Amino acid sequence: MPSKKALIRRPSPRLAEGLVTHIEREEIDTDLAGLQWEAYAETLRTHGWDTVEVEPVDDCPDSVFVEDAVVVYRNVALITRPGADSRRGETSGVEEAVARLGCSVNWVWEPGTLEGGDVLKVGDTMYVGRGGRTNAAGVQQLRAVFEPLGARVVAVPVSKVLHLKSAVTALPDGTVIGYAPLVDTPSLFPRFLPVPEESGAHVVLLDGGKLLMAASAPKTAELLAELGHEPVLVDISEFEKLEGCVTCLSVRLRELYT
């Protein structure tokens, strides 16, 4: 029986101080962000996910982007070593949460850096973005942990966006979708479908053909609906101002041994 647990973490009161790398800084409405986060978590629960709250870290402005702290394959967790020093304090709470859920735990060690937003899993293939936050040593350590378990790790250059999953995610059938101007090498993916909006590149598979997507990508939602998927839209405008997307706000655990 596949598990349906999703790690989430409340936004820090210092959210407005979060890092921005590839976009201009905009003012963040932290009250609105809190409401949007609650609605996102409720959407996961409505679609059958059991949400598990990770201990908040108020001193880490970016800690709501819980996906960056861990990569999970089957029931093995790799605790990351974020490329941004200000994010290093985010990992210990995530480590405790995955250990409590029964994952075996591994770590990325210096000089490696790796952030979970750089890892896109499509079946047993793990695409890992080699860019600003994840270095070659981080890619090597990811390989060393997951290849013996049957994963195939494919490194992908990332230069135009913060993380690989800022540029591409995958549909349930394995087709990779992305906003073409921000994808360095679309030919690395066996099947690539360009989408018309930047935020349309991000989907979370809710199961049953449903795709959690940002409300800021209506044209992409229409395109995917025409292809037989069922978009479920959430407004995450305040997190998008920090280069966040629907994938970064949770870690979906589908293969825990229950």
Rounded to whole angstroms, the Cα distance separating 45 from 246 reads 15
Separation of alpha carbons 132 and 126, rounded Å:
18
Give catalytic status of residue 22 as yes or no. no
Dist CA 128 CA 110 (whole Å): 18
Among residues 60, 103, 245, 248, the one annotated as catalytic is 248
Taking alpha carbons only, the member of 252, 231, 250, 249 closest to residue 240 is: 249
242: three-class secondary structure by DSSP? coil
Supply the DSSP symbol for 2: -
DSSP E strands in 146-250: the ranges are: 152-157, 168-170, 176-178, 192-194, 204-207, 210-214, 230-234
Per DSSP bridges, beta strands 192-194 and 176-178 are parallel
Judged on CB neighbours under 10 Å (0-12, 13-18, 19+), 60 is buried
Catalytic residue among 60, 163, 202, 229: 163
Pairing of strands 119-122, 168-170: unpaired
248 is catalytic: yes
What six digits make up the tokens of 144? Answer: 């060393």
Identify which of 248, 216, 240 has the alpha carbon closest to the alpha carbon of residue 26: 240
Active site residues: 163, 248
